[in-house]
Structure 1
Amino acid sequence: MLPLALVAVLAVRHRAVLAEGFGHLATARWPWLLAAAGATCLTWVAAAVTRQGAVVERLPRCRLLATQFAAGAANHMLPSGLGASAVNLRFMTVCGLPLARSSAALALYLLAESVGRVALLAALLIAFPGALRLGSLLPEGAIGPLLLTIGAAAVVAAVVLACVRRLRAAVGSFLRTALGEARTIHSRPSRALALWGGSLAFPALQAAVLVAVGRALGLPVPLWHMAVAYLAATVAVALIPTPGGIGSVETALIVALVAAGGPAAVATAVVLAFRIITVWLPLLPGALTLGALVRLKVI
């Protein structure tokens, strides 16, 4: 709840910019907004392809796609993507995969998606080195405490694993299962292509949504620079455990677009429209789909 409270404080302090951003939404060009909605729908297809690539068995396509749509609604109930992970874990076990293999497939998906997002960001930063002033994304003096926190968390995790024998055995068993699944997946070219192709397509489509919204609202930032801003912002907020990234994603995206050269008011309008299209409009139908899948025992 602390990140949400911080975002609320920032929203009150900068309410004039938010009000001006909402005012800019009336000037949006609808063809670009429709393109953004289409790219949003394709993100669920990309997620379904990546999920299929993480398991050897063929999953039912229509139910898999519906599950990805429903997982978006579940993602707003639990922090750090746990909602979507829980839905997909349940779906795979209902499809007959053992819990250990389902968990391994879930971990492989999360790893591939993270690697794909960071690799895409790195490639764009190499191609467009001046696309983003990275120093402006973090407050002055924040890098040291951040690295210290990450290092302390790693040390605590290592100590706990070393001291708790049952936990160490469970983690070892999971890693053996996960590595075995990864080897099997990569021995089948079609599955490996689906896994890594989908993991690259998913963040690319999300960035395309932001680019289309930026074009709709006339954001004076080059296309590729907007894509870099999106990827940098989402990588930066990956460790902030807010449900569905609510608050943290909006703040990081506005900062990133301003760092890329966009005016604050227009950048705010772009982020508001982006989150309406990708989060709030699909939320109710996604929740209804989630309820229907539970009643039908698909998950």
Structure 2
Amino acid sequence: MTTPADLAVGRRPAYWPTLVCLAVLLGAAYLARRHWPVLETGARRLAAADQGWLLAAAAAAMGTWAASALAQQGAVARRLPGPRLLAAQFAASAANHLLPAGLGAGAVNLRFLMRCGLPAGRSAGALAVKATAGAVIRLALIAALAPLCPGLLRVPHVSPAAVAAVLGVATVAAALLAGPLRPRCRRALAGVPADIRAVHARPARAAALWGGSLAFAALHALVLIAVTRAVGLPLAPLQVALLYLAASSAAALLPTPGGLGSLDAALALALTTSGAPAATAASAVLGYRLLTVWLPLLPGLLVLALLVRRKAL
């Protein structure tokens, strides 16, 4: 039985992620206004970019949804319906840009798994297994690429105000996890070790989980690499891949929808501190976001609505 206290507990944490998200988006809007001439020059450069490389980037972007579907299948012992799984990943990528901290994609995938017959606890565990594999893969790729690009990853000069803002966001997130959300997270994740053992007891599922996670990160890096080739950015592909992995990992600490603002700023900062001209770096970031976010957003929302209408979610 749900008591008023339970409802209050469920309502309180919902405000803080929204406020943090709005604060980050306002900061991103301020930076965009401040650096508007660079963004405008970057947009013009992107319009004149090499179309062949942009098509290659678009193909890599489409492959990310298949890689995400493969990783999600690998996180579940039960066989999932392939076409609906792929459609759900496409819809989840669109929903992920509407809610902060990956809540959109998580909600879509959770609902999909439950519609496929998995209990709520097992569905949440499967999402946790997939997220953990993705994080491990990113860290492993960074560790593998860093020695090949010595001196590339440098800590940039950051103003005290920016440090204070990041610490404030981290404090709020820690307070949320240490407060009413912690018991719920414990209950939801209690079965994760058992789910991990079940997945790795089946080599095909383990290969799908880790292979899909690796392909997902690699394809996103390939999108950015192809866009940098299209706009003539003077960085080697391995350097671009390492910068993408580091920037996207750092941007994940800020709970904006789909990394909006945080990922853009982190990518632009990583590229410029590595020697790329500001306008060219802005072109690369704009092209990457156009192919991975803005162009698929409306079709993804239409697929999401169709899945809901057909009760697949």
TM-score in same-fold range (> 0.5)? yes
TM-score (norm 2): 0.87
What does the per-residue CA deviation read over 1:264-283, in whole Å, with 9 as the maximum and x for residues that have no partner? 01000111111111111111
2:263 paired with 1:243: no
**Residues 6-155 of structure 1 aligned to structure 2 (within 5 Å):** 6-133=27-154, 135-136=155-156, 138-139=158-159, 150=170, 154=174
What is the Cα deviation at residue 127 of structure 1?
A: 2.3
After TM superposition, list the pairs within 5 Å mapping 1:161-172 onto structure 2: 168=183, 171-172=185-186
1:232 corresponds to 2:252: no
Q: Show structure 2 runs of 5+ residues with no match.
A: 1-21
- Out of 204, 208, 222, the position equivalent to 2:218 is 204
Distance 1:10-1:173 versus aligned 2 partners, 3 A rule: closer
Secondary structure of the equivalent of 1:136?
coil
Match in the other structure for 2:16: none
Stretches of structure 1 that go unaligned for 5 or more consecutive residues are none
Contact kept? 1:132, 1:259, Cα under 8 Å:
no
* CA displacement, residues 182-236 of structure 1 (integer Å, 9 cap, x when unaligned): 1111111111111111111111110000000000010011111111111111111
Instruction: Determine if the alignment matches structure 1 residue 177 to structure 2 residue 198.
Output: no
Residue in structure 1 matched with residue 310 of structure 2 by the alignment: 296
Offset of residue 9 of structure 1: 1.0
Shift of 1:73: 1.1
Conserved 8 A contact 2:124-2:189? no
Aligned to 2:9: none
Determine if contact 2:96/2:103 at 8 Å carries over to the other structure: yes
**Contact 2:235/2:276 (8 A) holds in 1:** yes
Evaluate the alpha carbon distance shift between residue 283 and residue 172 of structure 1 in structure 2; reply closer, same or farther with a 3 A threshold: closer
Give, in whole Å, the separation in 2 of the partners of 1:68 and 1:227: 23
Q: Identity, % of aligned pairs?
A: 51
Answer yes or no: is the 8 Å Cα contact 1:226–1:260 preserved in 2.
no
Asked if the contact 1:56–1:185 (Cα under 8 Å) also holds between the matched residues in 2, the reply is yes
- Normalising by structure 1, we get a TM-score of 0.91
The separation in 2 between residues aligned to 1:111 and 1:263, in whole angstroms, is 35
SS at match of 2:190: helix
Local SS of the residue matching 1:244: helix
Structure 1 stretches of 4+ moved >3 Å: 137-158, 170-176
Q: Number of residue pairs matched? A: 292
Deviation at 1:78, TM superposition (A): 0.6
Q: Cα offset for 1:126?
A: 2.4
Q: Which amino acid aligns with 1:117?
A: R
